[in-house]
Amino acid sequence: MTRVIHTEITATDAFAQRPWLQWALVLALGIALSGASAHASGSEGATRPQRAASRDGTLPVPLGAEAQNHAGTVQTPSHRRHRMLVLTDIEADPDDTQSLVRLLLYSNLIEIQGLVATTSVHMKDRVNPDSIRKVIEAYGKVQPSLLLHEPGFPTAENLLGLVTQGRPEYGMKDVGEGKDTPGSERIIELLEADDERPLWISVWGGPNTLAQALYRIRETRDAEEAIRLIRKLRVYTISDQDDSGTWMRRKFPNLFYIVSPGRYEKSIWISINSVIEGIDNTTISNDWLARNIQQGHGPLGVAYPDVAWGMEGDTPAYLALIPVGLAVPDRPDWGGWGGRYELYQPTPEEIEVGREVQGGIPIEAETRPIWANAVDTYVPRVDQEYGRTLRTGERELEGSKPTLWRWRDHFQHDFAARMDWCVSAYTDANHPPVPSLAHPTQLTVQSGARFTLDASGTTDPDGDSLVYLWTQYPEAGSGPTIDVGNSPENVYFLTRVAPEVSKPETLHFILQVSDRGSPPLTRYQRVIVTVEPNEDAGTPADYPPGPPT
């Protein structure tokens, strides 16, 4: 918007009386410093170095370019529930309703604090909060059954009180003075609450309701308060579904923002429903959905519509918040059910600036680092009829999409089990195993030392047989991949030898425990091993230390 400042107001008076001027000065300084840093590093300095920085095994302040200048200790997942507000263009495509059905089954593990009906490029002039309420009412009929399996499922009445809406207008046309909505006001209310937990904004449609909240914060709060509030935000958006996303990333350079910029086919989220050549795609088939989700699973299954464009394209925007022992949401570069993202500034060539996102949104150049597509090299494990039950497959798959679909069967089976809970007694359903380590989740060893990974305390609430798998996740760490030769991975206890390093490096190991229930359910533990150089060239100490001799 164009803003006129009367000439009789001095610069000092204007600064003191208008919080947005203070904010603008801070913003300008931030952009100037970011630009100076990028210029000093050369044309490539604003892009690739961020990828390396996000893999050093430490936890930076997760706020855009600012994250590059802070380092702290490695953080493990918190047992506190993550809080989240959803922006959904429900009814633009049946997949929003599908994603909402699944989300409600995890409403005891994620603290839902708002469900906001919005527009998008695919539905520009209406919002449908009543469609959210309809799904919640179906959930209310099965909530008592869900409580037989796990505590904490909120009542339908509680969830209905969280439903609100944005304006029935599209994109940046709906952002500015006089454009506040119940949805944008709810976001500000949650940010100002006495709750230091980050507020995750899970964006399934257009994000202009969030843009309006940020606009209002910029206009009415002083710079320090605006920065404090924006630091709480964590945004995961399913591509750019209106033109306010690029505006927010440009105007608020420290806003934590996960997105696959550019066209849908280049996104990570699309792999939730993509048929991948060379793997078993059964769990996304229409027949599987009909048998395991829609039919015979009560009112909530009936509320799950057939696939029209693609199954649950919005679900990845909250999968990482489900506490299964794998993801650390503030570290998207560590990977998890929602995919893996790294902090860098995508190049115009990578995102095809000049083209349009589906629906006609121009693809604009990114002006600063964002959490964008990362690449995994993944070799699926294969079941064997005889001998060792699991072996390394022969096909190596590389790209951004494997960062999500590598876990797909696990989260689909988890969904199916929770749908079973809607209609089953505890003894008639499956429940996830409980991994337990005999050592801390963070180990430090020297190069050449032997170290042990031990999950001997793992249990299963249903008494099911368990399948163990230990794998290294090299892309999540900074150190080299350990060559394990013919050593088995499908055991609860194994030993590895730390590689030679010239400086401290991190290795991420994922314990994957699956039961043999129906459907099979999987939980994880992540162990981060810091390998330090063996500077004295003596015999390195093993972990755990052996008995005295």
Residues 87 and 196 in one domain: yes
pLDDT digits (tens, 9 = 90+) for 360-405: 999 999 999 999 999 999 999 888 899 999 888 888 899 999 999 9
φ, ψ dihedrals at 174, nearest 5°: -105, 20
368 and 439 inside one domain? no
Q: Which of 354, 375, 396 is the last residue of a domain?
A: 375
Task: Give per-residue pLDDT as tens, 519-534.
Answer: 999 999 999 999 999 8
Residue positions counted in the chain:
549
In this structure, what CATH number is given to the domain that contains residue 451? 2.60.40.10
CATH of the domain at 137: 3.90.245.10
In a domain, 403, yes or no: no
| pLDDT at residue 33 greater than cutoff 50 | no
> Does one domain contain both 242 and 125?
yes
Residue 5 lies inside a defined structural domain of this protein: no
| Residue 354 and residue 468 share a domain | no
Kindly report, residue by residue over 276-291, the tens digit of the pLDDT: 998 999 999 999 999 9
Alpha carbon distance 280, 37 (integer Å):
46
Whether the per-residue pLDDT at 199 is higher than 90: the answer is yes
510 found inside a domain: yes
Give the three-state DSSP class for 330.
Answer: coil
Q: Residue 490: exposed, middle, or buried by beta-carbon count in 10 A (0-12, 13-18, 19+)?
A: middle
Q: Which amino acid is it at 436? A: S
- 118: left (phi > 0), else alpha (psi -120 to 50), else beta? beta
DSSP code of 292? I
pLDDT surpassing 50 at residue 357: yes
Q: Return the structure tokens found at 214.
A: 């940020």
Q: What is the mean pLDDT of residues 94-111?
A: 98
CB-hemisphere CA count at 13 Å for 430?
A: 20
Contacts of 16 (CB under 8 A, 6+ apart): none
Per the structure, the complete domain to which residue 294 belongs is given by: 64-375
Q: What angle separates helix 182-192 from helix 208-220, to the nearest 10 degrees?
A: 60
Give the pLDDT band of residue 485 (cuts 50, 70, 90).
confident
Is the pLDDT assigned to residue 78 strictly greater than 80?
A: no
Q: Measured in Å, how far apart are the chain's first and last C-alpha atoms?
A: 77
Q: Work out the burial of residue 444: count CB atoms within 10 Å of its CB; fewer than 13 is exposed, 13-18 middle, 19 or more buried.
A: middle
Does residue 386 sit within a domain?
no
Tokens at residue 90, please?
């429900």
Under 8 Å between Cβ of 92 and 205: yes
Flag whether 196 is in a domain: yes
Q: Answer whether 414's CB lies under 8 Å from 408's CB.
A: no
Tell whether 316 and 199 lie within a shared domain. Answer: yes
96, 236: one domain: yes
Give how many domains the chain has, as a whole number: 2
Question: What interhelical angle do 19-41 and 223-231 show, nearest 10?
Answer: 60
State whether 319 and 453 are in the same domain: no
What is the structure's pLDDT at 43? 32
| Mean pLDDT, all residues of the chain | 87
Residue 404 lies in a domain: no
Give the C-alpha separation, 111 to 13, whole Å. Answer: 43
Tell me which of 375, 395, 418 is where a domain ends: 375
Give the domain-ending residue among 375, 396, 422: 375
Q: From CA 282, how far away is CA 297, in angstroms rounded?
A: 19
Give the model's confidence band at 543: pLDDT under 50 very low, under 70 low, under 90 confident, else very high.
confident
Inside any domain, residue 244: yes
Same domain as 79, residue 168 = yes
Are 491 and 470 within 8 A, CB to CB? yes
One domain for residues 158 and 275: yes
Residues 328 and 260 in one domain: yes
For 144-196, give the DSSP string: HHHTTTSS-PPPHHHHHTTEEE--SS-GGGG-STT---HHHHHHHHHHHSS--
239 and 337 share a domain?
yes
Q: Are residues 356 and 243 in the same domain?
A: yes
pLDDT computed for residue 10 by the predictor: 33
82 CB-near residues (< 8 Å, 6+ apart): 110, 111, 197, 198, 200, 321, 329
Determine contact, residues 423/296, Cβ cutoff 8 Å. Answer: yes
546 pLDDT higher than 60? no
How confident is the model over 444-476, as pLDDT tens digits? 999 999 999 999 999 999 999 999 999 999 999
Calculate mean pLDDT across residues 23-45: 38
Q: Note the pLDDT of residue 65.
A: 35
Residue 426 lies in a domain: no
pLDDT at 12 over 80: no
CA distances from 475 to 143, 275, 400, 490, 502 (A): 39, 24, 12, 21, 19
